[in-house]
């Protein structure tokens, strides 16, 4: 029977098993997930499967860039308890995974899980580690960025990480400004870089909210649209990175801060991951 990639990924999330193992198990089980889990457990993946229903809401985030800071990776390795998340061996594993991803220029979590670490596919390594510590371990998020300059930031508790893509090479001034932009992203969680990057569905939602608010305030129907667009502009100021007030100096926007640091400097893209979010 035809086993979809979505089904394979679902079983992988449930069990922590490798993609090919999941596909084989689902095929053997005729698409029956419960039977597929039994098949995987019979192949020595008992601990991982038995903990599939546990929530992995703790963990550690690691960011790395290559030597010339043109490619960066962001890895979120999750577990069940803060005790394990703070364990030196767990954090070391997260760093190993990030280093592996960086060395191979890996751009997807699926490809990352197939790479070898200490002689095992990473998916199998995570299962092995799950059996060792007795907690569900998984790569909950994996992001990459390529640009003329890439800057990273990880909050001190390793629970939040940011990658920033700059339009200039990572010179001293650009790196300092990029770090400030990364900290802004960490603190303010913008929805996009600029207003043109905001998802159309979000724009539509904000316009409708603005209209409803104006109606509830008793505004005339003929100016409802104008009021809603005014509220949308305020939304852009509060929620798009370049238009936000710079947290270190509210007298300028993030866009102005970047340009002041290095003429023409701006952010092209960013990735933000928080444990448990």
CATH, residue 154: 3.30.479.20
What total of structural domains would you count in the chain? 2
Same domain for 124 and 168, yes or no, is yes
Contact (CB, 8 A) for 237 and 254: no
The pLDDT tens digits for 25-60 are 899 999 998 888 877 766 655 435 455 555 668 999
pLDDT of res. 141: 93
* Co-location of 97 and 37 in the same domain: no
Could you tell me if residue 259 is inside a domain? no
**168: CB partners within 8 A, 6+ apart:** 148, 149, 174, 262, 264, 265
**What value, to the nearest 5°, has the Cα angle with vertex 226 and ends 241 and 190?**
15
At residue 163, the pLDDT reads 98
Positive/negative CA dihedral, 41, 15, 104, 161: negative
Same-domain status, 81 and 148:
yes
Residue 136 has a pLDDT of 84
Quick one: 144 and 180 in the same domain? Answer: yes
CATH number, domain at 34?
1.10.8.10
| Residue-wise pLDDT tens digits, 101-127 | 999 999 999 999 999 998 989 998 998
**Are 65 and 181 found together in one domain?**
yes
Tell me, yes or no, whether 145 lies in a domain.
yes
Q: Taking the CA of residue 200 as centre, how many other CA atoms within 13 Å lie in the half-sphere pointing to its CB?
A: 0
Containing structural domain, residue 44: 5-50
- Same-domain check for residues 63 and 188: yes
Considering the domain architecture, whether residues 26 and 130 belong to the same structural domain is answered as no
- pLDDT for res 47: 38
Per-residue pLDDT, averaged over 131-158, amounts to 91
| Phi, psi (rounded to 5 degrees) for 218 | 80, 25
Q: Could you tell me if 151 and 90 lie in one domain?
A: yes
Is 228 a domain residue?
A: no
Is 112 in the same domain as 158? Answer: yes
Residues 14, 106 share a domain: no
Same domain for 134 and 269, yes or no, is: yes
In a domain, 42, yes or no: yes
Section 162-184 average pLDDT? 95
Q: What is the mean pLDDT of residues 174-183?
A: 96
pLDDT at 200 over 90: yes
pLDDT of residue 107: 92
Whether residue 177 sits in one domain with residue 84: yes
């Amino acid at each position: 029977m035809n086993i979809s990639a979505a089904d394979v990924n679902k079983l992988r999330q449930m069990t922590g098993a490798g993609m090919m193992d999941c596909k084989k198990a689902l095929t053997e089980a005729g698409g029956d997930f419960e039977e597929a889990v039994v098949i995987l457990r019979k192949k020595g993946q008992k601990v991982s499967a038995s903990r599939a229903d546990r929530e992995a809401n703790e963990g550690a985030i690691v960011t790395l860039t290559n030597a010339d800071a043109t490619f960066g990776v962001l890895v979120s390795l999750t577990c069940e308890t803060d005790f394990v998340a703070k364990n030196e061996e767990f954090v070391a594993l997260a760093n190993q995974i990030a280093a592996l991803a960086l060395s191979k220029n890996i751009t997807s979590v699926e490809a990352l899980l197939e790479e070898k670490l200490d002689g095992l596919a990473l998916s199998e390594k995570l299962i092995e580690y799950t059996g060792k510590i007795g907690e569900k371990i998984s790569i909950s998020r994996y992001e990459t960025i390529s640009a003329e300059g890439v800057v990273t930031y990880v909050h001190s508790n390793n629970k939040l990480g940011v990658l920033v893509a700059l339009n200039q090479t990572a010179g001293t001034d650009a790196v300092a400004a990029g770090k400030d932009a990364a900290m802004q992203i960490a603190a303010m969680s913008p929805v996009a870089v600029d207003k043109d990057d905001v998802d159309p569905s979000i724009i539509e939602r904000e316009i409708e909210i603005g209209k409803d608010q104006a109606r509830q305030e008793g505004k005339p129907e003929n100016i409802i649209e104008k009021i809603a667009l005014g509220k949308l502009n305020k939304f852009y100021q509060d929620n798009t990175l370049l238009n936000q007030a710079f947290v270190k100096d509210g007298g300028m926007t993030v866009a102005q801060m970047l340009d002041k640091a290095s003429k023409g400097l701006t952010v092209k893209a960013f990735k933000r991951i928080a444990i448990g979010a």
